[in-house]
Amino acid sequence: HLATSLPLPSERDHLRPRIDLIVFMIDIKSKYSLKNVEASLAYVDASFFLGKVCFVVTGVGRVNACSIETNAICKLGEAYCSPVLFCELELEGIRVATAQRLLRMLQVCAGHVPGVSALSFVSLMRNSDND
Amino acid sequence: EDVDSQKTAFLLRKAWTLYSVTPLYRFHRGRLRDYARLLSAFIAAEKQKGLAVEVGAELDIKVAVSSLADLRGSEQDHAAVLVQLSSRSRASSRNSEDNLVWSGWFCSVYGDDLSENVPEDFTCLPLFLTHGAESYTSLVGSWFQKTFDCCFRRLGISPLNLSWMVAMWAGCELDRAVSAVELVFSVPRLSQPLDISYAIHPEDAKALWDTVQKTPGEITQEEVDVFMDCLYAHFHRHFKIHLSAARLVKISTAIASAHSDGIIKILHSQYLPGVLMLLTELAISQIQ
């Protein structure tokens, strides 16, 4: 399901299937996309931040088009205990690899991978903080 | 630190194209005349091959290479090096004036980050600015690359860095700020390109910056963000357009103007070292 911002319209709540993973897309060329994501985060239930939220930053291939500081995005990831993936959608290889990563994360979050749950993502984040 | 305004007046009010240059190997300050001669011969040779330049095949290109002793930041910086190409028509008399067709200068203002880490034989002048035909720029560039084993790259300026520049320069003290602070945005993903120009009265811009900046002489990313957010919010209130979703491509203040393609115009000699210091930093981060 794709949405330009949160909250999702309430009319369709009863038709909507369970949400296993929320991916927030930030375009590094658009400051507005970061502000939009920050505003939308307020509408996400706290339980999602146990490994069911992920940030994807696009457009990182062009250094000269940056409108957002990468530091600010990393801080956002830390604040919400969620992983940040950097990718460049214009390059097919990276696009495919990122899609595969997201798919694997979704499989874990939906409980399709035995022995691994979404909480593992949170503990992975913790460990790298302590380094 | 005192830059002689007479000598550097030629730098002002010209649009300079920016490049980053890797350190020059075995560049000797005492051999500038020799270098001028060698570069001149190189250009003449390229012309013979038919590889150069303009229709004026009648013109001889004279090369002058000089040192701008005052144009530097710290003692560690090498003094700037200026290369000038002038033409004199063969047809006219011997006493006719030389016509300056191209100039380029290498400089380093507080480039200690780079110069500290290079071996003895290297001269660090990471910033290269050119004014004149692109064909001359590539001739001069190729000669330097061959002779000193260095590498030139166009230095673009990201929207992030442009917003630093506009915040810094809009906040500068000036006796009379005559020109407006202008930001030009390019709107992406439209069938026809659209540019939005946002002009602000210089006193309003300075007043805004003064309320945002906490410590004089220091600027943080947060302060730049707040400054830009105020400008975006004001624009959105009036026009219902989110400038933060567009791409900042050019900024203009009374001190200097800068374009994201890597073109700079410095308007005020008082702030010349400050502008060059920022550009030197950008050049160094592109090299590293």
Report, as an integer, the average pLDDT of A99-116. Answer: 91
pLDDT at B278: 93
Whole-angstrom CA distances from B33 to B27, B37, B82, B125 are 12, 6, 12, 19
B55 has pLDDT over 80? no
Q: Which of B20, B286, B23, B264 has its CA nearest to residue B152? A: B20
pLDDT at B58: 57
pLDDT in tens, B130-173: 999 999 999 999 999 999 999 999 999 999 999 999 999 998 87
Which residue does chain B place closest to A71, by CA atoms? B221
> Does a structural domain hold residue A85?
yes
**Judged by CB atoms within 8 Å, which residues 13-32 of A form the interface with B?**
29-32
**Does residue B2 register a pLDDT over 70?**
no
B159 close contact with A: CB closer than 8 A: yes
Task: With beta carbons under 8 A apart, name residues in chain B contacting A35.
Answer: 244
Distance of CA A78 to the CA centre of its chain: 12
Cα angle for residues B97, B99, B103 (degrees, 5° grid) = 140
pTM for the predicted model, two decimal places: 0.86
Q: Is B21 exposed, middle or buried (0-12, 13-18, 19+ CB in 10 A)?
A: buried
Residue B116, classed as helix, strand or coil, is coil
- The answer to the question of residue A2 being in a domain is no
Q: What would the mean pLDDT of B4-28 be, rounded to a whole number?
A: 88
Q: Do B242 and A32 touch (CB under 8 A)?
A: yes
- List A residues 67-86 in contact with B (Cβ-Cβ < 8 A): 67-69, 71-72
Among A109-118, B199-208, B234-243, B245-254, name the one with the lowest average pLDDT: A109-118
Position A125: which residue type? Answer: M
Nearest CA-CA partner of B82 in B95, B59, B100: B100
| Total structural domains within chain A | 1
Reply yes or no on whether the pLDDT at B96 is more than 80: no
- Please, what is the average pLDDT of chain A? 88
Optimal mutation site among A4, A5, A57, A64, interface B, most CBs of chain B within 10 A: A64
Considering only CB atoms, B244 lies closest to which of A32, A65, A69, namely A32
Does residue A44 fall inside a structural domain?
A: yes
Q: Which of the two residues, B198 and A9, has the higher pLDDT score?
A: B198
Residue B260 forms contact with A (CB below 8 Å): yes
Q: Do A67 and B232 touch (CB under 8 A)?
A: no
Q: Tell me the C-alpha distance between B225 and B232, whole Å.
A: 10
Q: What is the mean pLDDT of residues B28-47?
A: 91
Average pLDDT for A91-117: 91
pLDDT, position B120: 87
Band (B259; pLDDT cuts 50, 70, 90): very high
Q: Which residues of chain A have a CB within 8 Å of the CB of B188?
A: 29
Distance from first CA to last CA of chain B, Å, rounded? 26
Tokens of A16: 């909507």
Strand positions, DSSP E, B22-151 = 24-25, 59-68, 80-89, 99-107, 122-123, 127-132
Q: Do B232 and A72 touch (CB under 8 A)?
A: no
Domain hosting A32: range is 18-128
Q: Is residue A33 part of a domain?
A: yes
The pLDDT tens digits of the residues spanning A109-120 come to 998 988 888 888
Chain A interface includes B258 (CB < 8 A):
no
Distance CA B282, CA B237 (A): 34
Q: Which of A30, A64, A71 sits opposite B245 (nearest CB)?
A: A30
Choose the weakest-confidence range: A61-65, B29-33, B210-214, B272-276. A61-65
Q: Is residue A116 part of a domain?
A: yes
| Residue A8 falls inside a structural domain | no
Residues on chain A touching B236 (C-beta within 8 angstroms): none
B280 interfacial to chain A (CB closer than 8 Å) = no
Looking up tokens 């979703």 gives B245
What is the C-alpha to C-alpha distance for residues B74 and B21, in angstroms, rounded to an integer? Answer: 19
| pLDDT-derived band at A61, boundaries 50, 70, 90 | confident
Total residue length of chain A? 131
Contact assignment for A64 to B232 by CB distance below 8 Å: no
Q: Is A108 domain-assigned? A: yes
**Percent of chain B at pLDDT above 70?**
91
What pLDDT, on a 0 to 100 scale, did the predictor assign at position A127? 59
Alpha-carbon gap, residue B81 to B105, rounded angstroms: 5
Shortest distance between the Cα of A96 and any Cα of chain B, in A, equals: 23
Q: Which residues contact B18 (CB under 8 A, 6 or more apart)?
A: B127, B128, B129, B154, B155, B157, B262, B263, B264, B279, B283
**Cis peptide, bond prior to residue A7, ω within 30 of zero:** yes
B247 interaction partners in chain A (CB closer than 8 Å): 29-30, 65, 67
- Cβ contacts of A29 on chain B, cutoff 8 Å: 159, 188, 247
Looking at the predicted structure, is the pLDDT value of residue B117 above 50? yes
Strand blocks (E) in A11-125:
22-27, 53-58, 84-86
Instruction: Provide the pLDDT confidence category of residue A14 given band limits of 50, 70 and 90.
Output: confident
> E-assigned strands of chain B?
15-21, 24-25, 59-68, 80-89, 99-107, 122-123, 127-132, 152-154, 181-187, 194-200, 247-252, 256-259, 263-266
Show the DSSP H helices in B11-155 as ranges. 32-48, 112-115, 134-148
The pLDDT score that the predictor gives to residue B208 is 94
Residue A5 falls within a domain, yes or no? no
Q: What is the CATH number of the domain that holds A120?
A: 3.40.50.300
Chain A residues with CB under 8 Å of B156 CB are: 63-64
Only one residue has tokens 């002038």, namely B86
Distances, alpha carbon B196 to alpha carbons B76, B237, B247, in Å: 42, 16, 10
Statement: residue A130 has pLDDT above 70: no
Give the separation between CA B243 and CA B230, rounded to whole angstroms: 11
Q: Dihedral through CA B6, CA B7, CA B10, CA B15, nearest 10?
A: -120
Chain A environment of B160 (Cβ under 8 Å): 66-69
Mean pLDDT of chain B: 88
pLDDT at residue B177, as a whole number: 65
DSSP H helices, A30-91, are: 31-41, 70-79
Q: What is the ipTM for the molecules in this complex?
A: 0.79
